[in-house]
Amino acid sequence: MDELLRRHLPESVVMALVTAVLTIPILGVRIHIENLQVTLEGDGTPVYIAMAVVFLVRLFRAPLSQITGMVRIDRLLPSSDWLTRYRTGLLAAMIVLALIWPFVASRGAVDIATLALIYVMLGLGLNIVVGFAGLLDLGYVAFYAVGAYSYALLNQHFGLSFWECLPISIVLAGATGCLLGFPVLRLRGDYLAIVTLGFGEIIRLLLNNLDELTGGPDGIGNIPKPTLFGLEFARRASTEGGVTFHDFFGLRYDGADTIIFLYLIALLLALFTLFVSNRLLRMPVGRAWEALREDEIACRSLGLNPTLIKLSAFSLGASFGGMAGAFFAARQGFINPESFTFIESAIVLAIVVLGGMGSQLGVILAAVALTALPEVARQFDEYRMLIFGLIMVLMMIWRPQGLLPATRPRMELPQ
Amino acid sequence: MSETSLVLLQQVINGLTLGSIYALIAIGYTMVYGIIGMINFAHGEVYMIGAYVGLLVITALGLLGITSVPVILLLTLAVCILVTSVFGWTLERVAYRPLRGNPRLVALISAIGMSIFLQNYVQIGQGARDVAMQPLVSGGWRFGPANGFQVYLSYMQVLIAVTTVLFMTLLTLFIARSRMGRACRACAQDLDMANLLGIDTDRVISLTFVLGAGLAAVAGVLVGLYYGLINPFIGFIAGIKAFTAAVLGGIGSIPGAMLGGLVLGLAESFTSAYLSTEYKDVVAFLLLVFVLLFRPTGLLGKPDVEKV
Amino acid sequence: MSALLEVADLGMRFGGLQAVDGVGFTVERAQVFAIIGPNGAGKTTVFNCISGFYRPTSGWAMLEAQPIHNLSSHRIARLGLVRTFQNVRLFKNMTVVENLLVAQHTRLVTNLWSGLIKLPRYRRSERQALEKASFWLDKVGLLPYANREAGNLAYGQQRRLEIARCMITQPSLLLLDEPAAGLNPQETRELNTLITELRAQHGVSVLLIEHDMSLVMGISEQILVMENGRPIALGTPAQIRSDPKVIKAYLGEE
């Protein structure tokens, strides 16, 4: 024990001092401005706490690592064999729960679940690009924006309904994906990441600056909600001769109907995304993505066109982004460029990384967890993005395959 | 001189000032990329932290009653470089070293995570709103006709240029002459071989992060003094632009980073003046996209042949 | 009828280094042609130029009278010229049969809709792909390993799988980069038989780089000898064996 202390003590002291340097200028001393008078406020507590924690952890790292070595995270989390066996059962249970949810949960809970489903769509869509094809897309939010603005603008200018705009949004976002992807997909992985980030920012800046078309920073409002075969969910029909849902069925108007209806649409769209991405994995293009991730040169030597195969992943992912965007615009009723910043791309990426790149089940659970948790623990709202960032780093260090690692369906030769 | 050429001159001055800042940050990207081949996405945040530390130190010195501008500047730069160096060192130690040998994208995702983390760390500590920095160096020279367009060259702009040249010279001398500098160059050529030859590559990698962070801190302090406003989000956009500068000059090349920074600064200031301020960021991003597409080796970089 | 592959005056320069210079040869249909030479002679560079991984800095190459030296590698592969690599490049985390399915990608029904809703023609195309894969696995003796991960195969098996993966694309010309490297004598003999069979039964021409002289001399009709990026001799095995320049290059001055 003495030996242990003597060996680790100097290093622990140094690390505690390093912690002091890292925390004093940010947490220890705060800038305080009052009446144009800048003063400084000192608060030693967070600094002392951080120093003490780092000091103790470094000092006792040997016994600590023994303890953490015994508690293997890998053993606590399901193994990939287990996942393969119960995958269908788990998915079915999740879908059943999702179907019952709106009829048992509160209005607020259903609303949050709708938001979570948007992130499920985005997560599954980005998962095609990042998880299946191994292309890091940091500008995924651009396609989300294209989908949202497509619906908002087509509705504003041509009066098209949500259901008419949904396929158009999907196609437009996919086409944007093709257009942006085609020239850049031959770039190496990390350059591609930065270029897509650039595209994401360019699109946001354009939305912000093309005031006449997009309304600039003020955005677009009064976007109508989806209808059920022409039946509106509102107290009164918005157009002359329009019929509302409660009038048609002779019910009393209830605001909760709208929320449940939106939730069910989101669920439908999320299930559609799940179905398609699930099929894609088993199709030739899914095999080609996997092959391309493993060895691009071998693929080329066999006649596969890498750019085209990557493009298919990129634009399919983009299409789902567009779909989520159109639904988002309909749910919010109002959009502006603020909803489409890099942070949004980063959140979706965090979902994919946390769930496990390529793992649909993992991505769904991560999307639900990362949208629901901040709502449940409101007091931690401020720390939400801090924790997201931390999760991304820690996942890369400890479990780069994600919480529920991907299990790719294998094509087998019957023997 | 005609008015148009005076306006042009003004844009050149503004562009070179801005470009110096980008060049200082770009060094950090280019050195790290040159040695371990990763994009240190969190580098912009180190610059942002440098700006905050600068603000704190200047305010503290003001409260202590120190008024001599050179003393304040030297002390501020010294403290900022020290603090951000510790940030740079820790960043590499905590978020990148455990990932060495993994695919590039793993390290890049970790770096993005770190960037988000640091941005929110500062936001929680110091608040999300803009904080103003007292102008330390004000005034300047005016040239041109009394009744027409006058070119304005502020003392602050001169200070930025001089400081940048000074630090770039120091860095160049360090890389060219010192033992550690030689080790850096060896590692940039072939990390594994340098390791086999007995160079402590871990130390060299740490050093590149420390040097990059130090230069970013200098840029942070200068920007704070130049614009007078900082917030926790300035690192993101400045980081991407500095990365653009590094790519533009040829990533891995230190003179390239300087050149790239200046070119980008000029491009932005001309866009602001002749097109629209709103599109200056668009131009920077477009420049990034086009350079990566058509000349990924940049202006001064060496081409690398794909190994089959 | 024109020759299958015609290469003339091929040159490749990397910066200041002329890696390949003035290489020319012709491969006829259903012929086995070998390129030999000491290490660093530029043989693999010639392969990379012909298969489109490098763009040659001078000269030209034609496959069935069609210029290919300006095409990208995947287009050349589709024209019927496929290759293996010196250090085997399998999709190691995919199964053996999946490796063969990926190779058939360009011939499958890859239309999105037919795959999503499993149209009959999609099912048929997938079934045929599996049948073809099992035919080739049988051919190279890997049928029992079909559902194993390719990376878990023994080295010799990996080499055979790589050849099967090429053959399933129905090439007219097969480029083998040191196919016998790392094989034991028994496996080398099997390889010899396989190459002879491929040519006899499937009419494919084989262009190979090889160090194993017994293999090269036994199966090749024409041999090109290279040294320092330049061709020094071209002829039948008998001619090459007695060529003084070749003897000098291989044995040094005596």
Residue C88 lies in a domain: no
Residue C87 lies in a domain: no
Chain B nearest-CA residue for A200: B285
- Chain A residues in contact with B288 (beta carbon < 8 A): 194-195, 198
Judge whether A73 is closer than 8 Å to chain B, CB to CB: no
Measured between CB atoms, which of C74, C115, C116 is closest to A303?
C74
Mapping DSSP onto H, E and C, the string for chain C reads: CCCCEEEEEEEEEECCEEEEEEEEEEECCCCEEEEECCCCCCHHHHHHHHCCCCCCCEEEEEECCEECCCCCHHHHHHCCEEECCCCCCCCCCCEHHHHHHHHCHHHCCCCHHHHHCCCHHHHHHHHHHHHHHHHHHHHCCCHHHCCCEHHHCCHHHHHHHHHHHHHCCCCCEEEEECCCCCCCHHHHHHHHHHHHHHHHHHCCEEEEECCCHHHHHHHCCEEEEEECCEEEEEECHHHHHCCHHHHHHHHCCC
Instruction: Kindly tell me if the per-residue pLDDT of B7 is higher than 90.
Output: no
Residue C2 lies in a domain: yes
Here the ipTM equals 0.92
**How far, CA to CA in Å, does A231 sit from each of A164, A228, A234, B300, C37?**
15, 5, 9, 64, 79
Q: Give the pair of three-digit tokens for residue A188.
A: 């190496």
**Structural domains of chain C, count:** 2
Residue C85 lies in a domain: no
Q: Please give the average per-residue pLDDT across C26-54, as a whole number.
A: 91
Angle at B106 between CA B105 and CA B109, to 5 degrees: 80
Mapping DSSP onto H, E and C, the string for C166-206 reads: HHCCCCCEEEEECCCCCCCHHHHHHHHHHHHHHHHHHCCEE
**Residue that finishes a domain, picked among C169, C204, C223:** C169
Residue C89 lies in a domain: no
Residue C105 lies in a domain: yes
Segment B233-254, tens digit of pLDDT = 999 989 999 999 999 998 888 8
Measured between CB atoms, which of C14, C44, C85 is closest to B305?
C14
A302 with C82: Cβ contact below 8 A: yes
Measured between CB atoms, which of A276, A298, A413 is closest to C91?
A298
Residue C165 lies in a domain: yes
A205 with B278: Cβ contact below 8 A: yes
A vs B: CB pairs below 8 A: 165
**Residue that finishes a domain, picked among C118, C148, C169:** C169
**C64: domain range?**
1-80+171-254
Q: Are residues C123 and C239 in the same domain?
A: no
Tell me which of A309-313, B41-45, C225-229 is least confident. C225-229
- Chain C residues in contact with B305 (beta carbon < 8 A): 14
Query: CA of C146 to nearest chain A CA: how many angstroms apart?
Result: 6
Instruction: Kindly tell me if the per-residue pLDDT of B304 is higher than 70.
Output: no
Query: CA of B282 to nearest chain A CA: how many angstroms apart?
Result: 6
Tell me which of A35-39, B83-87, B96-100, B187-191 is least confident. A35-39
Judge whether B175 is closer than 8 Å to chain A, CB to CB: no
Segment B122-137, tens digit of pLDDT = 999 888 888 887 788 8
C74 with A306: Cβ contact below 8 A: yes
Which CATH number covers residue C233? 3.40.50.300
Q: Are residues C63 and C2 in the same domain?
A: yes
C14 with B308: Cβ contact below 8 A: no
Judge whether A240 is closer than 8 Å to chain B, CB to CB: no
Chain A interface test: which of B109, B210, B279, B306 (most A C-beta within 10 Å): B109
Judge whether A9 is closer than 8 Å to chain C, CB to CB: no
Q: What average pLDDT does chain C have?
A: 90
Angle at B29 between CA B25 and CA B31, to 5 degrees: 110
Residue C137 lies in a domain: yes
B308 with C48: Cβ contact below 8 A: yes
Give C102 or A381, the one with higher predicted confidence.
C102
Q: Are C224 and C33 in contact (CB under 8 A)?
A: yes
Instruction: Kindly tell me if the per-residue pLDDT of B77 is higher than 90.
Output: yes
Q: Are residues C187 and C219 in the same domain?
A: yes
Q: What is the pLDDT of residue C254?
A: 44
Q: Are residues C184 and C120 in the same domain?
A: no
B residues 289-308 near C, CB within 8 Å? 305-306, 308
Query: Mean pLDDT, 10 residues at a time, over chain A (415 residues)?
Result: 74 90 88 76 88 88 75 64 75 88 86 93 95 92 96 92 93 95 86 90 91 86 82 70 73 78 93 93 92 93 93 95 96 92 91 87 90 77 85 86 75 74
Q: Are residues C136 and C148 in the same domain?
A: yes
Q: Are residues C76 and C141 in the same domain?
A: no
Q: What is the pLDDT of residue C47?
A: 93
Q: Please give the average per-residue pLDDT across B67-83, as a whole number.
A: 92
Q: Are residues C136 and C163 in the same domain?
A: yes
Q: What is the pLDDT of residue A239?
A: 67
Whole-angstrom distance, CA of residue B255 vs CA of residue B261: 10
**Residue that finishes a domain, picked among C117, C142, C169:** C169
Q: pTM for the complete prediction?
A: 0.89
Instruction: Kindly tell me if the per-residue pLDDT of C97 is higher than 80.
Output: yes
Q: Give the pair of three-digit tokens for residue A165.
A: 């705009």
Chain A nearest-CA residue for C52: A301
Q: Are residues C59 and C70 in the same domain?
A: yes
B104 with A189: Cβ contact below 8 A: yes
Looking at CATH, the fold of the domain delimited by A85-398 is given as: ABC transporter involved in vitamin B12 uptake, BtuC (1.10.3470)
